[in-house]
């Protein structure tokens, strides 16, 4: 083998290595939870899930402000937004924190008023060589609630998780039916115990305002997400399928 041929082969192998390193694994999913617009200012709440991890396993990322731009930042996702037929690039956001294998991001950016017929948003998320497998999925903005208060994102998240938890609990009770009263009674007792434990862990929300109310919402949201997964696991153990 000549020296030139060896050098060419080594260069090719190096390029292949770089290509495989740059190719992100599709182990995330990203979904918009809500979007509100005040003039040309947009607030977008995004949920990122690590679908390759168990539901109860956190990402390990801490709350922080993450800048926009394509330069990787340790501890931050790169959140690229496509809205109203415009590529907005990687936008800045606040990493609010997580519950189980999901993190929540609150992005802030400016965008001129939408044009007629523009009502879609796409998300492209990446971190440490991992990206969202649903990149390119179109989410209709009119389907989002449009009720987010940018200063109280955890209140929104907790209300959403509370609705999902109550629906899952009622569905499981109904699916057990009259022929499984002992199991239904045990489920009801377990739910009462969990509610009491939640009040002890997060406190009483009555009369709370501003930061104190948000702290309670954050605590209860995280407990709701974990409890929802417990109900799904319990449903499987009881031989009942639960919608995710």
List the domains of the chain with CATH numbers: 23-148 (2.60.40), 154-237 (1.20.1270)
| Residue 172, helix vs strand vs coil | helix
Quick one: CA dihedral 139, 144, 149, 152, positive or negative? Answer: negative
Region of poorest pLDDT, from 11-15, 31-35, 87-91, 190-194: 11-15
* CA neighbor of 146 nearest in space, from 30, 221, 31, 37: 37
| Residue 170, helix vs strand vs coil | helix
Give pTM, 2 decimals.
Answer: 0.83
Residue 89: which H helix or E strand, with range?
Answer: strand 86-90
pLDDT score at 71: 87
- What percentage of the chain exceeds 90 in pLDDT? 66
* CA neighbor of 242 nearest in space, from 169, 185, 182: 169
CA–CA separation, 46 and 91 (whole Å):
12
pLDDT score at 131: 94
pLDDT score at 187: 93
pLDDT score at 118: 66
Region of poorest pLDDT, from 2-6, 41-45, 108-112, 222-226: 2-6
> How many alpha carbons fall within 13 Å on the CB side of residue 115?
4
Region of poorest pLDDT, from 19-33, 115-129, 206-220: 19-33
pLDDT score at 112: 81
pLDDT score at 20: 38
pLDDT score at 14: 43
Confidence of residue 223 (pLDDT cuts 50, 70, 90): very high
- What percentage of the chain exceeds 70 in pLDDT? 86
Res 13 pLDDT > 50: no
pLDDT score at 25: 81
Confidence of residue 21 (pLDDT cuts 50, 70, 90): very low
pLDDT score at 66: 97
Confidence of residue 191 (pLDDT cuts 50, 70, 90): very high
Query: 46 Cβ partners below 8 Å, 6+ apart?
Result: 30, 31, 32, 33, 79, 93, 104, 105, 106, 107, 123, 125
């Amino acid at each position: 083998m000549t020296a030139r041929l060896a050098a060419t082969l080594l260069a090719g192998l190096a390029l292949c290595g770089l290509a495989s390193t740059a190719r992100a694994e599709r182990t995330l999913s990203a979904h918009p939870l809500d979007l509100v617009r005040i003039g040309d200012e947009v607030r977008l709440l995004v949920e990122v899930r690590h679908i390759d991890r168990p539901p109860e396993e956190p990402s390990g990322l801490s709350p922080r402000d993450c800048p926009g731009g394509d330069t990787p930042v340790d501890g931050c996702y790169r959140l690229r937004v496509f809205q109203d037929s415009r590529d907005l690039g990687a936008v800045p956001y606040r990493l609010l924190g997580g519950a189980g294998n999901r993190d929540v991001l609150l992005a802030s950016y400016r965008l001129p008023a939408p044009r007629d017929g523009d009502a879609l948003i796409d998300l492209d998320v990446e971190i440490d060589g991992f990206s969202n497998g649903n990149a390119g999925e179109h989410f209709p903005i009119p389907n989002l609630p449009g009720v987010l208060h940018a200063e109280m994102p955890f209140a929104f998240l907790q209300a959403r998780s509370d609705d999902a938890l109550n629906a899952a609990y009622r569905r499981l009770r109904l699916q057990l039916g009259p022929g499984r009263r002992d199991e239904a009674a045990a489920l009801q007792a377990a739910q009462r115990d969990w509610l009491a434990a939640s009040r002890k862990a997060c406190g009483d929300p009555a009369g709370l305002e501003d930061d104190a109310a948000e702290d309670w919402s954050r605590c209860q949201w995280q407990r709701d997400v974990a409890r929802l997964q417990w109900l799904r696991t319990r449903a499987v153990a009881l031989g009942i399928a639960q919608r995710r």
